[in-house]
Amino acid sequence: MTQMAVLPERGVVEIGGEDRVSFLQGLVSNDVAEAAPGRAVWAALLTPQGKWLADFFILSEGERLLLDCERAQAAMLAQRLGRFRLRAKVQVRDASAEFSVHAAWNGAPDMGAGIAAPDPRLPEAGWRILAREKLPANATLADWDRHRLALGLPDGSRDLEAEKSTLLEGGFDELNGVSWTKGCYMGQELTARTKYRGLLKRRLVPVEVDGMLPEPGATITKGSAEVGVMRSGRDRRGLALLRLDALDDTLTCAGATLSPRVPRWFARETVPAS
């Protein structure tokens, strides 16, 4: 049975105007031209130095693009994007008050409900839905959290650090969050260099927790060596930013034992041979 949850911590930024696609295309990590009715694009806004600032799903409706983003970042995102308008014929605004954001999984939602598109990261991730009002839900935010943790999907600032994290650490390459063919965008140089020169040293990895779930930011150790840091979690699952040489080991964190569970979608060349 399809499960649907309201995501109250998500907001919406609207980009309208005839230059909306070309305007956003030069700023974000993925190919904005791929966004169409029934097709969402996952992308990130980076610093000029290539560090993560925000990520969002881009949905298309009529003469506007709708960015499904963290509600707490919506005003910042609208303001930052607005700085690059120059002579582009676009309007950028925080439209969070006008929409409710939903996630659906384990089946397709009612196609008449809101603006819907499959989650572009993984088929198992489900669907993203924007609606003018809250739709009937049969699952909770906690249910959605467990689902995305089981898949190893990052949840914005809960798992990534503004102006510090890189896209490849967060799995954006394998999860369809980066276009390598669309041309230049802000922060592209570091992202490309990290990929093509094999500079990736850490990855955001699902972990199973034996013991009390550690707080985000807690240090993870392998013996006496620090090998990572805990990110988001719920119950006995979490995500942790780990050194690549620690993915096959049993680790400790704040009195709990962590066992990395490398997802099948990971690019194998980034994972040490066992």
pLDDT top residue among 266 and 177:
177
Residue 56: CB atoms within 10 A of its CB come to 25
On the question of pLDDT at 269 being above 80, the answer is: no
- Give Rg (Cα) of the chain: 19
Same domain (yes/no): 135, 216: no
Q: What is the mean pLDDT of the chain?
A: 94
Same domain (yes/no): 118, 56: yes
Q: For residue 228, what pLDDT is reported?
A: 97
Please say whether the beta carbons of 69 and 56 come within 8 A: yes
User: What are the structure tokens assigned to 7, written together?
Assistant: 């995501």
Query: In Å, how far from its chain's centre is CA 228?
Result: 20
Q: For residue 177, what pLDDT is reported?
A: 98
Same domain (yes/no): 38, 110: yes
Residues 185-197 have pLDDT tens digits of 999 998 999 888 8
CATH of the domain at 253: 2.40.30
On the question of pLDDT at 270 being above 60, the answer is: no
Tell me how many domains the chain contains: 2
Domain contains 253: yes
Q: For residue 195, what pLDDT is reported?
A: 87
Q: For residue 272, what pLDDT is reported?
A: 44
Q: For residue 86, what pLDDT is reported?
A: 86
The DSSP letter of residue 268 is G
Residues 230-253 have pLDDT tens digits of 999 999 999 999 999 999 989 999
Beta-carbon contacts of 107 under 8 Å, excluding residues fewer than 6 positions away, are: 1, 2, 3
Domain contains 189: no
Instruction: Decide: residue 224, CB within 10 A, 0-12 exposed, 13-18 middle, 19+ buried.
Output: exposed
Same domain (yes/no): 133, 248: no
Residues 129-163 have pLDDT tens digits of 999 999 999 999 999 999 999 999 999 999 999 99
Please say whether the beta carbons of 209 and 240 come within 8 A: no
pTM for the complete prediction?
0.94
Query: Domain of 231?
Result: 201-270
Pairing relation of β-strands 3-6 and 100-105? Answer: antiparallel
Same domain (yes/no): 129, 70: yes
